[in-house]
Structure formats: structure tokens, C-alpha cells
Amino acid sequence: MKRKIAIVAGGYSSEWQVSMRSAQGIYSFLPKDRYDLCIVTIIGQQWTARPSEDEEYSIDKNDFSYINQEGKRIHFDFAYITIHGTPGENGLLQGYFEMINMPYSCCGVLPAAITFNKFTCNHYLQGFGINIARSILLRKQETIENERIINEIGLPCFIKTNVGGSSFGVTKVKHADDIQHAIQHAFNEGGEVIIESMLVGTELTCGAYKTTDKSVAFPITEVVTGNEFFDYDAKYNGQVDEITPARIPNEIAEQIQQLTLKIYDILACKGIIRVDYILSADNIIHLLEVNTTPGMTATSFIPQQVKAAGLEIGEVLHEIIENELSKHNTTL
């Protein structure tokens, strides 16, 4: 009998539409001869199972099941989380699945909570010798003078939400007159804002995953855009060149791959992660952020990197699912 896999998408943030595209990508990647797939959307309080285009059922949150049109209660064997943002990337959904004893794809509650908070994550990793940009954290109701930002961070700088992604709420600020508007724009996406120094160099991203018996760091992608930065249009509307493998020396590529695997272990990650970096002109590697539920559309970085590694994305996802199910079964 095929295992029933819930591909969990949606969420409460501006990233929900990106999440839906990732869900379609994962649905297309996973082998249908091995799994019975169902996309489950979480939009506000509406949790909905869609096992086919013409079926839609409410999820029972007591055990993450649903009753189909024949009156049969359907239970899932595994949840593949592809929500970018809350509640799927910050530990809330992971905590729910832990409570109902449902195995799932990505890292656990604490790693999810840490990585979702960019300021906390980067400063935590700085304690392990990893280079990061200078930054200031600003919480709701707090104010900051432009002069302090200019003195401590400098211009240009980036002002962005601390608890979101997909470049929503991000502004590259060049002039002091634009600082306060950029802060408010970032606060529209969440209750915390990062004001971060601009790192100059080559933008790179590296995916990785681990199972019980293997560690895999994918070939690195170089991100080149004519936009001011890697913004929403660059990410999702084609205004970017994504070069895999990146045009960097082999020894630097190996350093970045090993650093990605080190970060994976420090944070106790699971499943696939993606870590973004800036490589300076003097080959100093700076961490930008860690993404524990990376985009999974057909054109996203991870599928590109998997292909460049000579692997098949469906097999990689199969390995991750079976590895987690195996670990889950041994603890029952």
C-alpha cells in the first residue's frame, strides 16, 4: 500500500502564494507509484485537503485527518512542509506535528524558530566563527534615529523584516530621507525589523541535505541580477541569471559546501536547507541567511542544484521522506 503524503502549503504571510507554487513543484517531483499525494492548504483557520482537483475536505485538526466523500476517515503517514513563513517555517506547525506524532520533512521546533528569526540565527552562528553583516534589530513601537543607523551601519543599507522571506518588505536604502519609510514598509510584514549593512561581492547559495547514512552539499548557484538586489521580481519574474555551478574557484566552492554542512549540524537541521552567502572580492565568505523550507518550484535553486549534481529531485525527496519515516518508526 502506498504511503499517504500531505504536501502542506499556504500560511499566514505574504509568502503564501510562493508556497502554493512550491507545493505544485513537490507534487510534480514525488514519485506517484510510491506515494498517494494530497496538497493540504493552511490559509488562516481554514485547513483544507485537496486529494484531487475536484475534491476538497476540511482537515480535522485533532489528528490531521479528513473524511472523504465515501465517509471514510483518511489519515496521513507523513507531512512534507512547504510553507514559507509562519506557521510552517517558524516552529509552530512543527510543534503541532510533534504533539500528534506525525513525521514531517523539515527541521524541528527549535531550529525552525531560530532560523526564522534572521537576527537571532545569524548572531548565534557568529559565535561559531561565521562572518555576518553588521545589523541592528528594531521591534514594534521602537524608534531609531537616522544618525545612529548611518554611524553604525552606513549607507547603502538593507532594511527588511526579521520574520519573513521572498524579499517581501525589503528595501535597499541609499539616502537618509528614505530610512523611516523603509522601516515602516518592513514592519508591514511583521513585528521585527533588521537594519543591515550592505555586503559587496558575489551572491551565492548552496543547498544541502543529510540522511542517516549520507551528507550531500549541492553545487553552488551564483545569483546575478541587474536589479538593485535579489528582489521579488528577480526571484520570481525572471529578472536574474542563476548560474550553477557558480563561477568561483573550486577550493572556495568546497569551503562554502563544507560551511553549509557545518551550519546544518550546528542548527540540527533536517531535510533540505539552503544557505545564502556573499563572497567578497578578497574571498571572505559572509552568511546572509539560512532557509529551512526553500522554494521548490521547477525553477527554484534546489531543483537546479540537484540536477547539476547529477541527481534526480524525486529520488532526493524520496530519500528524505523514507529516512524520516524510518527514524520515526524506531522511536514508536
Q: Is residue 256's pLDDT more than 90?
A: yes
Do 27 and 148 belong together in one domain?
no
Tens digit of pLDDT for each residue in 263-318? Answer: 999 999 999 999 999 999 999 999 999 999 999 998 899 999 999 999 999 999 99
What span, in angstroms and rounded, lies between the C-alpha atoms of 288 and 275?
8
- Report, as an integer, the average pLDDT of 69-92: 96
Say which residue, 82 or 17, is predicted with more confidence: 82
Is the CB of residue 47 less than 8 Å from the CB of residue 41?
yes
Q: Domain ends where: 63, 88, 105?
A: 105
What span, in angstroms and rounded, lies between the C-alpha atoms of 89 and 299?
21
Tens digit of pLDDT for each residue in 164-177? Answer: 654 677 899 999 99
Is the CB of residue 187 less than 8 Å from the CB of residue 229?
no
Do 127 and 268 belong together in one domain?
yes
| pLDDT band at residue 17 using 50, 70 and 90 as cut-offs | confident
Do 121 and 244 belong together in one domain?
yes
> CATH number, domain at 286?
3.30.470.20
Do 319 and 221 belong together in one domain?
yes
Do 222 and 279 belong together in one domain?
yes
Q: pTM value?
A: 0.91
Q: Is residue 121's pLDDT more than 60?
A: yes
Q: Domain ends where: 180, 197, 214?
A: 197
Q: Is residue 227's pLDDT more than 60?
A: no
Q: Domain ends where: 63, 87, 105?
A: 105
Do 247 and 299 belong together in one domain?
yes
Do 144 and 183 belong together in one domain?
yes
| pLDDT band at residue 144 using 50, 70 and 90 as cut-offs | very high
Q: Give residue 189's pLDDT.
A: 81
> CATH number, domain at 160?
3.30.1490.20
Q: Is residue 208's pLDDT more than 90?
A: yes
State how beta strands 241-243 and 35-43 pair: unpaired
Do 263 and 160 belong together in one domain?
no
Number of domains in the chain: 3
Q: How many residues does the chain have?
A: 332
Tens digit of pLDDT for each residue in 54-68? Answer: 999 999 999 999 999
Of all residues in the chain, what percent carry a pLDDT higher than 70?
A: 93
What span, in angstroms and rounded, lies between the C-alpha atoms of 82 and 278?
25
DSSP 104: B
Range of the domain at 19: 3-105
State how beta strands 35-43 and 66-67 pair: unpaired
Is the CB of residue 295 less than 8 Å from the CB of residue 302?
yes
What span, in angstroms and rounded, lies between the C-alpha atoms of 150 and 320?
45
- Name residues whose C-beta falls within 8 Å of residue 131's C-beta, 6 or more positions apart in sequence: 284, 285, 286, 287
Do 156 and 119 belong together in one domain?
no
Q: Give residue 164's pLDDT.
A: 64
Give the strand order in the sheet containing 35-43: 57-58, 46-50, 35-43, 3-10, 78-81
Tens digit of pLDDT for each residue in 233-247? Answer: 444 445 578 999 999
Alpha-carbon 52 to chain mean position: 26
> CATH number, domain at 95?
3.40.50.20
Do 193 and 204 belong together in one domain?
no
Of all residues in the chain, what percent carry a pLDDT higher than 90?
A: 83
What span, in angstroms and rounded, lies between the C-alpha atoms of 214 and 67?
38
What span, in angstroms and rounded, lies between the C-alpha atoms of 234 and 222?
13
How much helix, strand and coil, in percent to the nearest 5, is found in the chain? 30, 30, 40
User: Shortest CA distance to 274 belongs to which of 199, 203, 196, 218?
Assistant: 218
Instruction: Tell me what the pLDDT averaged over the chain comes to.
Output: 92
Do 320 and 173 belong together in one domain?
no
Count of CB atoms within 10 A of residue 226's CB? 8
Do 18 and 96 belong together in one domain?
yes
